[in-house]
Amino acid sequence: MKALVTGGAGFIGSHVVDELLRRNYEVVVYDNLSSGFLRHLEQGLSEGRIQLIRGDILDAGTLTRAMEGTSTVFHLAANADVRGGRGDTRVDLEQNILGTHRVLEAMRTVEVSEIVFTSSATVYGEPDRFPTPEEYAPTQTSLYGASKLAAEAMIQAYGEYFGIRSYVFRFVSWIGERYSHGVVYDFVNKLRSDPNHLEILGDGNQKKSYLYVEDGIRGIFLARERIVGHKNVLNLGHLEYMNVRDLASIVCSEMGLTDVSFRFTGGPRGWLGDSPFVHLDVSKVRQAGFDPQVSIEQGIRRTVRYLLNNPWLLEARSS
């Protein structure tokens, strides 16, 4: 068994690599290291169990050659900055839509039959149904969400034309070890600079679901093993949710900080395109045996501890 993981040096991708190695796969990591880190792959690389190909997702030739001999592609390489599309309207088009097209074309060329794709809860825009099921018909509110939905559609079309089996996972925000961007990361960074004050985007009442990375990886592999459809679109999130104000308090507590003054920028959203409430219906993956084992609070505390014990990750993102 041999799998290729695009974005395999990143936060979630490196955990996918770990699980594949645990299952005795040969693993090819395809990553340009723009946001991933070789340190996430140290053990597998030192043992010679990972073939690392440093390449851009838009480089069709290198990507196709890297994919030869594989049976499955885990496609995680993407723009991960939900807010970035306002400043550069091409980034989501190029990295998320064209990048996915390059992956699918390479799969078609070398006849790889299965793709696992990491999509996002942002495809639902600002839903009015909670928990939000996979069948919800969304209106798009961000270029990032629109690009993920377009990539999903392309995957399904390639499945129809060329027999590629697909697992599309719509994620909530993930937290845990190797976490390198997002609200917990931002709060830790801000509080390291000023332990007395914390700026919080929005009014602090935004409610979000967060999933601990080990739970998420287990959910992906359980679904892949037990759900047998040809085109599978699955929500993957927590049964719980938490508002941002409470999340900030937990971060402060784990950092040993008291009497931190919160300052809110105001409004129901952290930024244009942000959804004030993210809570997904995970009934389908639960039927495959998935249930989160780590509470949101436990996941936040573990994430803070990891970041404090690995300041190189905070410094790498700040440089």
Strands (E), 139-294: 165-171, 173-175, 197-200, 207-208, 210-212, 231-236, 242-243, 261-264
pLDDT of residue 318: 60
Whether 202 contacts 277, CB under 8 Å: no
- Every domain of the chain and the residues it spans: 2-174+210-236, 176-209+241-279+294-318
Neighbours of 231 (CB within 10 A): 15
In this prediction, residue 316 has a pLDDT band, given cuts at 50, 70 and 90, of: confident
Contact 174/308 with Cβ under 8 angstroms? no
Cis preceding-peptide flag for 131 (omega within 30 of 0): yes
- Mean pLDDT, rounded, for 256-272: 95
Do strands 261-264 and 242-243 pair parallel, antiparallel, or not at all (unpaired)?
A: unpaired
8 A C-beta contact, residue 46 and residue 146: no
Given a contact cutoff of 8 angstroms between Cβ atoms, the answer to whether 165 and 115 are in contact is yes
The whole-number average pLDDT for the span 290-300 is 98
pLDDT of residue 21: 98
Asked if the model's pLDDT at residue 319 lies above 60, the reply is no
Q: What percentage of the chain exceeds 90 in pLDDT?
A: 94
Per-residue burial over 54-86, b = 16 or more CB atoms within 10 Å of its CB, e = otherwise: ebbbeeeebbbebbeebebbbbbbbbbebebbe
**Mean pLDDT to the nearest integer, 244-249:** 98
Give the pLDDT of residue 159: 98
Say what angle helices 244-254 and 183-193 make with each other, to 10 degrees.
Answer: 50
Q: How many residues does the chain have?
A: 319
Residue 316 backbone dihedrals phi, psi, to 5 degrees:
-65, -40
CATH of domain 176-209+241-279+294-318: 3.90.25.10
pTM of the predicted protein model? 0.97
DSSP SS3 for 17: helix
- The confidence band for 83, taking pLDDT boundaries of 50, 70 and 90, is confident
Separation between Cα atoms, residue 246 and residue 89, nearest integer Å = 33
Token code pair at residue 318:
């700040």
- The pLDDT assigned to 179 comes to 95
Q: Does residue 144 have an active-site annotation?
A: yes
Q: Catalytic one among 144, 167, 212, 241? A: 144
Domains 2-174+210-236 and 176-209+241-279+294-318 share a fold: no
For residues 10 and 12, give the distance between their C-alpha atoms in angstroms, rounded to a whole number: 6
pLDDT tens for 87-146 read 889 999 999 999 999 999 999 999 999 999 999 999 999 999 999 999 999 999 999 999
Contact criterion met (CB below 8 Å) for 220 and 283: no
Paired sense of beta strands 207-208 and 242-243, if any? antiparallel
Whether the per-residue pLDDT at 221 is higher than 80: the answer is yes
Fold of 2-174+210-236: Rossmann fold (3.40.50)
Mean pLDDT for 65-84 is 92
Q: Residue 31: which H helix or E strand, with range? A: strand 26-31
**26-31 and 114-120 strand pairing:** unpaired
Residue 41 contacts residue 14 (beta carbons within 8 Å): yes
CA distance 7 to 159: 22
